[in-house]
C-alpha cells in the first residue's frame, strides 16, 4: 500500500475552512484561481504518490550513509529531488522577484502535507529550506538576498537551522559557538548537533543558518547573533568559490526518519568558517524566531501528514485482513473492519486527522491574511491569531500523529509490530515530532507565558468569542444542532481554564507551568471539535449529500467519543498544579 493524497478532502478544507477563495482576492494572491489550485493539487499528488512515497520504506531500511566525509542519501532520493526542483514545487509561496510563484501559504501548506505524508525523511529537506527563505526575506541584507534567495527558493540550494549544541539542548542561551569579526565577514568556530540535512548529496550548496556568540556579547540569549554560513562560498558572479571551513563529523543513528541525514557539524577546524551576519549583532534569536515559527507550523503539518499516511494504511489493512467471526452473526471469518473496536480505532484516527488538517490549514490562512490583508487592523488581528495558533498546531498535531500512528500499529495487530508492514515505521517516525523545533512542553510554555500572559488573554478570549459565534445554529438541521451542546460545554471548559491561568498562573509561573501542557491539549481538542462541526455545517451547504453525511458522522463521533476529554484536561489545569508540585525529589 502506498500513499495517495486525499485531494478532494484537502480542497474542501482549503475552501470551507481556510477560505482560500477569499484569500485569492487579496493583493498578490490573485493568481490562485480555482483551476490553478486544482491543477497544483493534482500534479503535486502525482509526484508525492508516484515518485516520493515509493522511496519511503526502502529509504528507512537503507538510511543515509556517512563515509569518508561524504553523505549519501538512499537510492532514488537524488532523482526524486531533481524532479521536485524541476517542477518548481519549492517556490510556491515566495516572492516572484526572486523566482517564487507568489501563491498563498494555505495552498503551499496543503502541498507540503503531501511531501511529508509521502516520505517524512524526504520532506524534511525542503521544510528547512522554506524556513531559511522566510528568514532571509525578513532579515537578510540586499546582498544576501541577491546572492542566496533565488537558489534557495528554487530548491537548487538547501537551507538548515543550526541551534543545538551538545551542552545546550533546548537552552539555546548556553551555546558556545563563537564568531570573530574579520573585515566584512565573521569567522565561526564551534560544533552543532542534530542538524537536519546538514550534509547531503541532493543539492550543490547548503546554506547554514548558525547561531553564535561574539566575544563581547552579553550572556544568555540576549548575546546571540545569527550568521549565514554557506558550504561553498559564492563569488560576485554567482560561481562557487572555495569550500568553507565546515564539515560533517558524523550522522546520528536514530529511532526514526532514518533516511534524513541528521548531522553533527563542526565549524572552523582550520581557523574559522566564513559567516555573514544576518540582522544586527546580538539580535540572532529575534531573527531566528522567524525561521523557527515557520518550522513549527510546518512540523505541525508533518504531524497531520503522518497521521494521514498511518490512517490510510490501517484502513486498507482493515478491509483486507480476515480474522474471527463478526459479532452480528455468520460462521465465516470476517474482515476485521466488521469488528466494533477496529471501527472505533479507525474512526478515532480519521476524526483526529481531519481535525488536525482543519487546524493546520486554518492557521495557514491566518498567515496569508497577516501578510496580505490591505487593512492594517485586519493584518494585526490575523497575526495575533496566528501567533496563538502556532504552538497549538505544532504540539497538538504532533501528539495526534503519535496517537494515530500507535493506533495504526494496533489495527494491524501483531503484524503492526513487524517492520515489513510499514506501520511500525510511521510510529517510529512520528516520535520525533513532539521533540524537535521546541519540545511540546516548550510549546505549552510558549502558549501560556508568551501568548496568554503577555496580552492578558486578549487574543485567546477573542478566539473563544469567535468559537461561540461559530457554533452550529440552533435552528438548523437537528443532527447538526445536536453538535452544539457538547461543543458549548467544551468551550466553557476552555474559558474556565483560561481564566484560572490568567489569575493563578499570573501569580505563580510555576503553578501555571504545571498546567500548561494539559491547557494546550485542551485548546487543541476544543478547536478540533469546533472545526469538524464547522466542516459539517459547510458540507451541508453543498449538493453532495453523501459527502455531507460523512462529514456529519465524523463530527458526531468526535463530539461523542473524544470531546469529553476536555473536562478532564480543564480539571488538570485548574486543580492539577498542587498535586503535581507536591512530589518531593525523593518521590521520584
Q: Does domain 7-154 have CATH number 1.10.540.10?
A: yes
Residue 325's pLDDT is 87
Domain spans of the chain, in order of start: 7-154, 157-283, 446-579
Helix (H) or strand (E) holding 569: helix 565-582
C-alpha cell at 54: 515509493
Residue 472 DSSP class = P
CB count within 10 Å of CB 344 equals: 13
Do the domains 157-283 and 7-154 match in fold? no
Residue 169's pLDDT is 72
* Bridge partners for 181 per DSSP: 186
* Bridge partners for 76 per DSSP: none
Please say if the pLDDT value at position 1 is more than 80: no
Q: What is the pLDDT of residues 515-570, one digit of tens each?
A: 999 999 999 999 999 999 999 999 999 888 999 999 999 999 999 999 999 999 99
Q: Average pLDDT in the 379-398 region?
A: 98
> Rounded distance, CA 19 to CA 358, Å?
11
Please say if the pLDDT value at position 358 is more than 80: yes
Name the band, by pLDDT with cuts 50, 70 and 90, for residue 303.
very high
Residue 98's pLDDT is 97
* Bridge partners for 186 per DSSP: 181, 275
Helices (H), 158-266: none
Strand 70-72 relative to strand 65-67: parallel, antiparallel, unpaired?
A: antiparallel
Q: Average pLDDT in the 567-584 region?
A: 96
HSE at residue 498, side-chain half, CA atoms within 13 A, is: 23
Q: By the 8 A CB rule, do 579 and 573 touch?
A: no
HSE at residue 550, side-chain half, CA atoms within 13 A, is: 10
> Rounded distance, CA 63 to CA 48, Å?
19
Q: What is the pTM of this model?
A: 0.97
> Rounded distance, CA 219 to CA 434, Å?
29
Q: What is the pLDDT of residues 455-466, one digit of tens each?
A: 999 999 999 999
C-alpha cell at 331: 460462521
Q: What is the pLDDT of residues 331-346, one digit of tens each?
A: 789 999 999 999 999 9
Q: Average pLDDT in the 295-319 region?
A: 97
C-alpha cell at 284: 540572532
> Rounded distance, CA 252 to CA 260, Å?
10
Helix (H) or strand (E) holding 455: none
> Rounded distance, CA 232 to CA 284, Å?
22
C-alpha cell at 162: 543550526
Residues taking part in catalysis: 437
CATH architecture of 157-283: Beta Barrel (2.40)
Give, in order, the Cα–Cα distances in Å from 414 to each of 62, 417, 419, 578.
24, 5, 11, 41
As a whole number, the mean pLDDT across the chain is: 96
Give, in order, the Cα–Cα distances in Å from 417 to each of 401, 408, 409, 410.
17, 10, 7, 9
Amino acid at each position: 500500500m502506498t500513499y495517495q493524497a486525499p485531494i478532494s478532502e484537502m480542497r474542501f478544507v482549503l475552501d470551507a475552512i481556510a477560505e482560500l477563495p477569499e484569500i485569492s482576492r487579496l493583493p498578490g494572491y490573485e493568481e490562485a484561481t480555482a483551476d490553478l489550485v486544482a491543477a497544483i493539487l493534482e500534479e503535486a499528488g502525482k509526484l508525492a504518490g508516484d515518485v516520493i512515497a515509493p522511496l519511503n520504506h526502502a529509504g528507512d531500511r537503507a538510511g543515509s550513509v556517512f563515509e569518508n566525509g561524504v553523505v549519501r542519501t538512499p537510492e532514488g532520493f537524488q532523482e526524486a529531488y531533481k524532479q521536485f526542483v524541476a517542477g518548481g514545487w519549492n517556490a510556491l509561496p515566495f516572492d516572484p522577484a526572486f523566482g517564487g510563484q507568489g501563491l498563498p501559504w494555505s495552498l503551499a501548506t496543503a502541498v507540503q502535507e503531501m511531501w511529508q505524508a509521502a516520505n517524512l525523511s524526504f520532506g524534511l529537506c525542503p521544510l528547512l529550506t522554506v524556513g531559511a527563505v522566510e528568514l532571509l526575506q525578513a532579515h537578510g541584507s540586499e546582498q544576501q538576498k541577491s546572492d542566496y534567495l533565488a537558489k534557495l527558493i528554487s530548491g537548487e540550494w538547501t537551507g538548515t537551522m543550526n541551534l543545538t549544541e551538545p551542552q545546550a539542548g533546548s537552552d539555546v542561551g548556553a551555546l558556545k559557538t563563537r564568531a570573530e569579526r574579520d573585515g566584512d565577514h565573521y569567522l565561526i568556530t564551534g560544533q552543532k548537533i542534530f542538524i537536519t540535512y546538514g550534509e547531503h548529496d541532493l543539492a550543490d550548496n547548503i546554506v547554514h543558518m548558525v547561531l553564535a556568540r561574539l566575544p563581547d556579547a552579553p550572556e544568555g540569549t540576549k548575546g546571540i547573533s545569527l550568521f549565514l554560513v554557506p558550504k561553498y562560498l559564492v563569488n560576485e558572479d554567482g560561481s562557487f568559490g572555495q569550500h568553507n571551513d565546515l564539515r560533517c563529523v558524523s550522522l546520528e543513528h536514530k529511532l526514526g526518519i532514518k533516511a534524513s541525514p541528521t548531522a553533527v557539524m563542526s565549524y572552523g577546524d582550520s581557523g574559522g568558517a566564513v559567516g555573514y551576519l544576518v540582522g544586527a549583532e546580538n539580535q540572532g534569536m529575534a531573527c531566528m524566531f522567524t525561521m523557527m515559527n515557520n518550522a513549527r507550523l510546518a512540523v505541525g503539518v508533518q504531524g497531520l501528514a503522518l497521521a494521514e499516511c498511518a490512517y490510510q494504511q490501517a484502513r486498507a489493512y482493515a478491509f483486507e485482513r480476515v480474522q474471527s467471526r463478526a459479532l452480528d452473526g455468520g460462521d465465516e471469518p470476517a474482515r476485521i473492519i466488521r469488528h466494533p473496536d477496529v471501527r472505533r480505532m479507525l474512526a478515532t484516527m480519521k476524526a483526529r486527522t481531519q481535525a488536525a488538517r482543519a487546524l493546520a490549514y486554518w492557521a495557514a490562512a491566518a498567515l496569508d491574511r497577516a501578510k496580505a490583508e490591505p487593512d492594517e487592523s485586519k493584518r494585526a488581528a490575523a497575526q495575533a491569531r496566528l501567533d496563538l495558533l502556532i504552538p497549538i498546531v505544532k504540539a497538538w498535531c504532533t501528539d495526534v500523529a503519535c496517537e494515530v500512528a500507535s493506533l495504526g500499529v494496533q489495527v494491524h495487530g501483531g503484524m503492526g509490530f513487524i517492520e515489513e508492514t510499514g506501520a511500525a515505521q510511521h510510529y517510529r517516525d512520528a516520535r520525533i515530532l513532539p521533540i524537535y523545533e521546541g519540545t511540546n512542553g516548550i510549546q505549552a510554555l510558549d502558549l501560556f507565558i508568551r501568548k496568554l500572559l503577555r496580552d492578558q488573554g486578549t487574543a485567546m478570549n477573542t478566539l473563544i468569542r469567535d468559537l461561540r459565534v461559530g457554533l452550529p445554529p440552533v435552528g438548523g438541521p437537528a443532527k447538526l444542532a445536536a453538535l452544539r451542546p457538547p461543543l458549548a460545554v467544551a468551550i466553557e471548559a476552555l474559558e474556565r481554564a483560561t481564566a484560572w491561568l490568567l489569575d493563578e498562573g499570573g501569580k505563580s509561573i510555576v503553578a501555571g507551568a504545571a498546567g500548561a501542557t494539559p491547557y494546550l491539549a485542551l485548546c487543541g481538542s476544543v478547536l478540533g471539535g469546533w472545526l469538524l462541526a464547522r466542516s459539517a455545517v459547510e458540507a451541508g451547504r453543498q449538493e453532495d449529500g453523501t459527502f455531507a453525511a460523512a462529514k456529519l458522522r465524523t463530527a458526531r463521533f468526535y463530539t461523542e467519543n473524544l470531546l469529553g476529554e476536555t473536562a478532564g484536561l480543564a480539571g488538570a489545569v485548574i486543580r492539577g498544579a498542587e498535586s503535581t508540585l507536591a512530589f518531593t525529589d525523593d518521590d521520584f
